[in-house]
Amino acid sequence: MKKIFLPILLIPICFAANGQDNKNTATTDTAVIVKHVQVEKDFVPTIEKVERADFSLSFTEPEVKKSDVTYSDSTKQLETVSPFNPLAPNSLTMMERARYKKGYFRGAIGFPLTWIVDFWYPIWDDNTYYLDAHVNHYGIKSNLQKLINTDIGFDFSKNFRKDQLYASINFKNSYYSYYGTDSVNNTDLFFYDVNQQKIRGDSLLPFDQMLIEAEAAFGFRSTQARKGWNYDANVVYNLFASRFAQEHQVAINGGFSKELGGFPLSVDVNTNTFFYNTAKFPFITDTAANWKPQSVIALAPKYEMQWNSLKLRVGAKMRFSINKGQLFTISPDIEIAYSFRTIFNVYGGVGGDYGINSMASTFYQNRYFCPTDQLKENTYTPFDFYAGFKVKPVVGLMIDGAVSYKMIANQQFFYNKPYDCITTPHLWPLSASEKVYSNLFTADFLKSTLLNASVGISYNLQERYLFFVKGLYNGWNVMEGEKIAWNKPTWEATAGINTKITQNLLIKSIFYFASERQTKLPTRDGAYCIEKLKPIYDLNLAASYTFPKNWSVFLEANNILSASEKLSYQNWYGYDTVGFSILLGASVAF
């Protein structure tokens, strides 16, 4: 296996090297390449977006734009972000207070026991060197529910005349409990048949989990064109470890861009390779439980043309997957857009996607995924047809709409993992068994299509009030199995108001709705029944007040409606949300 993966790691280096040129010839060039590093050092103490509660905290005050080193996402290969949608809702520009070039500290505590400690500081910041440090720590703790997250990191860059060297190092830790209800009896009086082994109930399921992630990245890119060439290359190593297994990811990313015929031609290439330590499960010795090593090579050429208000992009996204999933996949990358002044914008195109289902990306999607399972396929979307519009009929008002239709070869849907409970343990392995469900999750991979349609309206009134509402339809069509999209809502909606009461006092509210979702649970005879999860009604309020000397206080109330038992809900079956919570804190810029 090592003989296979070593040459794979070396391939993108050849592509990245083509973009380098040590000569100092100054050449004007309009070619554009996506930059992986964006350093923004200004501090804006204002209310951040209040997200709907999902056993995690939303951050209210302040909003800080830190240096952000962004690399190829481990769950998506060369995802193309459209540059052809220039219109955006009018923001409350007057609500932005004075900007500060130094760091900040924020702390908060709430009920039920909730806390935040947040720190960021630019240690070294001049025209040549930049270095910053950040610490983010937050947690929730009650009798059963526990979630404690820590994030510590450093970002560095050095500017040359036409190039930039950049690097980052980051450490994350997440501790949480499996507090969801289930039909498993976790006592020494019950036994379960797992892979033809007799397992005692108190050894079957973990009670908590610890996830550790460490990442180091190093890259070099052009900041000005060299003989018409722009380039970017970086190497990233990511370690992701649970209590039972470890994942090692090595990503090598390269890209270059050059003007051809008056328009930019660009090519991106990357390799994501994953290795795994032998899993150490408490009762599973079968090596089939181990995640399989894999490598995915992705190549994405594209040519972008523009004539006044008309833009056209033509490209493709190709992937070679070794040891997991289909060997070769390809998707188009075509988009056309037309803009009329700053009033109207319409666009449409066809694309695709290839999502790498690694151990890290799986736990990002569902932290309660069973640690002894694995996702054995990557998610391939051959075609994604989409179109949309944005229009500003009057000052301050914007209306937007979009529709898309995805054809997905193997979409994953999470559901509660079943187990075989031995009915007469003393007769095992000849004993009969009955099915029960756990508070851990596994997944089905099913051929599906997804029709999305959305409409949104936002209105900025006199730079003091911002109103917005948006609705989304998710039309899943599952072509296999029970033909139901487990844990997927059909309707979603978001609405909110941002209000500037005085120059220093800001108030924000946001409401999120999701319709009923369905999941499947095993019955004793081995069949499945369908259970419905209640709709989500999530209302959040936040307020902040800034004092003259660069410090502020904030108050946040989350998931207010769940104080009523009728309006409480679960994000995953068996897992009640934290419910109504309140958070009080202060921040200071220095």
Joined tokens for residue 122: 């630019």
Which pLDDT band holds residue 46 (cuts at 50, 70, 90)?
very low
Give the 3-state secondary structure percentages of the chain, helix then strand then coil, rounded to 5: 5, 55, 35
Question: Two tokens at 394?
Answer: 């009057």
Q: What's the pTM?
A: 0.83
**E strands within 462-567?**
465-478, 491-500, 505-514, 517-522, 528-533, 536-546, 551-558
> How far apart, in whole angstroms, are the C-alpha atoms of residue 287 and residue 134?
39
- Cis peptide upstream of residue 418 (ω within 30 degrees of 0): no
| Average pLDDT of the segment spanning 66-70 | 34
Does a structural domain hold residue 476? yes
- What residues make up the domain containing 439? 2-22+38-589
- Tell me, yes or no, whether 31 lies in a domain: no
- Please tell me which residue, 65 or 556, carries the higher pLDDT value: 556
pLDDT per residue over 242-260, tens digit each?
988 899 999 999 999 999 9
HSE at residue 510, side-chain half, CA atoms within 13 A, is 19
Task: Round to whole Å and give the CA distance between 461 and 484.
Answer: 43
Which residues, in sequence order, are bridge partners of residue 482? none
Specify the range with the lowest mean pLDDT, choosing from 138-152, 287-301, 471-485: 287-301
Cα 551 to chain centroid distance, Å, stands at: 31
Residues 6+ apart with CB under 8 A from 119: 103, 104, 105, 106, 133, 134, 135, 136
For residues 332-339, average pLDDT: 97
Q: CB within 8 A of 114, min separation 6: which ones?
A: 57, 108, 138, 139, 140, 581, 583
More confident of the two residues 116 and 503? 116
Query: Where is average pLDDT lowest: 391-395, 423-427, 480-484?
Result: 423-427
pLDDT digits (tens, 9 = 90+) for 368-412: 999 888 898 999 999 999 999 999 999 999 999 999 999 999 999
Chain Cα centroid distance, residue 186 = 33
| For residues 292-297, average pLDDT | 95
Higher pLDDT, 61 or 365: 365
Measuring CA to CA, which residue among 504, 497, 588, 492 is closest to residue 542? Answer: 497
Residue 452 has pLDDT above 60, yes or no: yes
The answer on pLDDT for 451 being more than 80 is yes
Residue 45 pLDDT > 90, yes or no?
no
Number of structural domains the chain divides into: 1
- Check pLDDT > 70 for residue 562: yes
E strands, 56-207, are 63-64, 68-69, 104-111, 114-125, 129-141, 146-159, 163-177, 191-194, 197-200
What pLDDT shows up at residue 282? 65
Strand-pairing partners, residue 122, are 132
- What's the rounded Cα separation, in Å, for the pair 179 and 205? 11
Q: 249 and 66 in contact (C-beta within 8 Å)?
A: no
298-302, 425-429, 572-576: the lowest-pLDDT one: 425-429
Confidence (pLDDT) at 429: 85
What CATH number does the domain containing 100 carry?
A: 2.40.170.20
Cα dihedral 54, 369, 328, 260, rounded to 10, equals 30
> pLDDT at position 283, please?
63
Residue 281 has pLDDT above 90, yes or no: no
Instruction: State yes or no: pLDDT of 489 exceeds 90.
Output: yes
Of the listed ranges 45-59, 350-364, 431-445, the least confidently predicted one is 45-59
Average pLDDT estimate for 487-516: 95
At residue 204, does pLDDT exceed 90?
A: no
- Residues 6+ away with beta carbon under 8 Å from 156: 129, 130, 131, 166, 167, 168
Q: Given a cut of 80, is residue 72 above it in pLDDT?
A: no
Domain membership of residue 33 (yes or no) is no
* Whole-number percent of the chain with pLDDT over 90: 67
Q: What band does 288 get if pLDDT is binned at 50, 70 and 90?
A: low
- The answer to whether residue 498 scores a pLDDT higher than 60 is yes
Whether residue 110 contacts residue 118, with contact meaning beta carbons closer than 8 Å, is answered with no
Mean pLDDT of 260-280: 91
The reported pLDDT for the residue numbered 101 is 55
Q: Which pLDDT score, from 0 to 100, does residue 280 have?
A: 72
For residue 415, being part of any structural domain is answered with yes
In a domain, 407, yes or no: yes
pLDDT of the residue at 173: 97
CA distance linking residue 365 with residue 569, whole number of Å: 19
Mean pLDDT of 41-64: 34
458: in domain: yes
Residue at 32 is within a domain: no
How far is residue 410's CA from residue 79's CA, in Å, rounded to a whole number? Answer: 18
* Mean pLDDT computed over 338-363: 95
Q: What is the pLDDT of the chain when averaged over all its residues?
A: 83
**92 and 464 Cβ atoms separated by less than 8 Å:** yes
In a domain, residue 531? The reply is yes
Tell me the average pLDDT across 438-463.
Answer: 95
